[in-house]
Amino acid sequence: WVVVDASQFIAHAPLALSDNGTVERELDAVAFSGHKLYAPGSPGVMVVRQILLEGQEPDELGGGMVDDVSLSNYQITGYFPDREEAGTPNIPGAVQLGAVLNVLQRIGMGSIHAAEQRLLRRLLTGLLAIPGVRIYGDPDLDRTPRLGVVSFNLAGLEHGLVAAMLNDYHNVAVRNGCFCAHPYVRELLKPELWELDLDPDADDADALIKPWQGMVRASLGLYSTDADIDALLNGVHDLLANPAYYRAQYQGDGAGNFCHRSFTVSAKSLFDPEAMLDQALASLSVSTDVL
């Protein structure tokens, strides 16, 4: 079987299970996450050739995947996809994901990919021009095609500090860490970790290495603009030009995370469910004593 994890791919370029030119290029199954397709709270998806599932026991048992149940046995339905979706499904999430997929198809994944490639070339060109930036993967788009996703690090700066500073001072949200691909990321980072010149047998070796075991990832999307690229590049320039200043503004927790020493945000000031409920009840003239 050829199974493709398309979670990071699906939002950036066209993808087809069939009609890929040759039998060897046909896909048997594709998995992807709805939240990476602009549909937070939606389910994960497995698109599988039905013939590969027929005759096999479903992975999960529950309501909806049986035709009959007795005291000693049960009969699995032959109807797809019900037999593979035991229990109550995430109906609102599925409807949301279906609507998003419809929007993306109407825009055209080819058009989305072309627009992202233009921004990607601008981003890579800008990062390559900044001393101290290390990009992972071949940055030459003419030689090696890649999606609108760039993982990088800045010399002498922890990935968590870079992500926090870009967010707090330049309004640029990036992800940092190992991106659910820890073995692969750490393999790519081996040369840099050796450059730390730490004693692996030291008692605090793990604590010293931990903040460096990760990368910063900038992802382009439907909403990305040239101004967004400029904001990221300006932030990288700023941090590399003033590393001591920004390091002094943050407190690390030893696990790769950094919090600003003086700036704090109260979640309740941004979203207060109790206050919103009080306001809604007041507008409906409903007494809380009755509830």
Q: Which residues are bridge partners to 149 per DSSP?
A: 219
Calpha distance 175→234 (Å, rounded): 17
Q: 185-191, long-range: CB within 8 Å, 24+ apart, which pairs?
A: 185/213, 185/214, 185/215, 186/213, 188/136, 188/215, 189/213, 189/214, 189/215
- Amino acid, single-letter form, for residue 106: R
Other beta carbons within 10 angstroms of residue 64's beta carbon come to 15
Catalytic (active site) residue 180: yes
Pairing of strands 74-76, 133-135: unpaired
Cα 186 to chain centroid, rounded:
18
Strand boundaries in the chain, DSSP class E: 3-5, 29-33, 44-48, 66-69, 74-76, 133-135, 149-154, 175-177, 215-219, 250-252, 258-260
Calpha distance 126→135 (Å, rounded): 11
- Amino acid, single-letter form, for residue 210: K
**N-term to C-term CA, the chain:** 57
- Of the residues 61, 69, 99, 180, only one is catalytic, namely 180
Q: Check if the beta carbon of residue 66 is closer than 8 Å to that of residue 58.
A: no
Q: Is 191 helix (H, G, I), strand (E, B) or coil?
A: helix
- Report the catalytic residues: 180
